[in-house]
Amino acid sequence: MSENNNKSIFNGPTGPLIFALTLVVGMMLGRGCDDVSTRQSSVGSRISHILDQIEVLYVDSVDREALVDVAVDAIISELDPHTYYFTKAEVEANAESMDGNFEGIGVEFIIKDDTLMVVSAIEGGPSEQAGVMAGDRIVEVGGVEISGKSLDNKEVMKLLKGERGSLVELGLVRNAPFARYDVVIERDRIPIHSVVASYVLENEVGYIKINRFSATTAIEFEKAMYDLALKNVSSVIIDLRANGGGYLNQAIDMISLFLNEGEEILYTEGNAVARKDYVSRVDGLYKYLPLAIIIDENSASASEIFAGAMQDNDRALILGRRSFGKGLVQEEYDVPDAGALRLTIARFYTPSGRAIQKPYGKEVDYAHDAIDRFDSGELYFEDSVKVADTVVFRTSLGRPVYGGGGITPDIFIPLKRTGEFRALAELVWIGVFRDEAFTWVDAHRGTLPENFSESSPVWKDETKGGKAAMKRVVEKLGLVWPDNSSEEGEEEIERIMSRFYAQVIRIMNGENSFYRALYEGDEAIERALYELLEEERFGIQKGRLYLLLENETNQSDSISQTLNIH
Per domain, the residue ranges of the chain are 3-78, 101-191, 195-340+347-412, 418-518, 535-563
d(CA 445, CA 449): 10
Contact 542, 288 (CB under 8 A): yes
Contact 515, 197 (CB under 8 A): yes
Q: Please name which of 11, 369, 358 lies closest in space to residue 3, comparing C-alpha atoms.
A: 11
pLDDT of residue 446: 81
d(CA 335, CA 452): 53
d(CA 371, CA 327): 20
Strand partners, 266: 278
Active site residue ranges: 301, 312, 326
Q: Helix or strand or coil: residue 395?
A: coil
Q: Please name which of 497, 520, 526, 321 lies closest in space to residue 421, comparing C-alpha atoms.
A: 497
**Is 101-191 a CATH 2.30.42.10 domain?**
yes
pLDDT per residue as tens digits for the range 153-182: 888 888 888 889 999 999 999 876 678 889
d(CA 274, CA 357): 18
Element (H, E) at 264: strand 264-269
Q: Tell me which amino acid residue 503 is.
A: Q
d(CA 149, CA 152): 8
pLDDT of residue 420: 61
Phi, psi of 329 (to 5 degrees): -90, 125
pLDDT of residue 409: 94
pLDDT in tens, the chain (566 residues): 334 443 333 344 444 344 444 434 443 344 444 555 555 566 667 888 888 888 888 888 888 888 887 888 888 888 988 898 887 777 777 766 566 567 889 998 888 878 898 988 888 889 999 999 888 999 999 888 887 777 888 888 888 888 899 999 999 998 766 788 899 999 998 888 899 999 999 889 999 999 999 999 999 999 999 999 999 999 999 999 999 999 999 999 999 999 999 999 999 999 989 999 999 999 999 999 999 999 999 999 999 999 999 999 999 999 999 999 999 988 888 887 778 888 999 999 999 999 999 988 888 888 888 888 888 889 898 888 877 666 789 999 999 998 878 999 999 999 987 656 777 878 887 788 988 999 999 989 888 998 999 999 999 999 999 999 999 999 988 888 998 888 888 998 999 999 999 999 999 998 999 999 999 999 999 999 999 998 778 888 888 988 885 434 344 444 433 443 33
195-340+347-412: CATH topology is 2-enoyl-CoA Hydratase; Chain A, domain 1 (3.90.226)
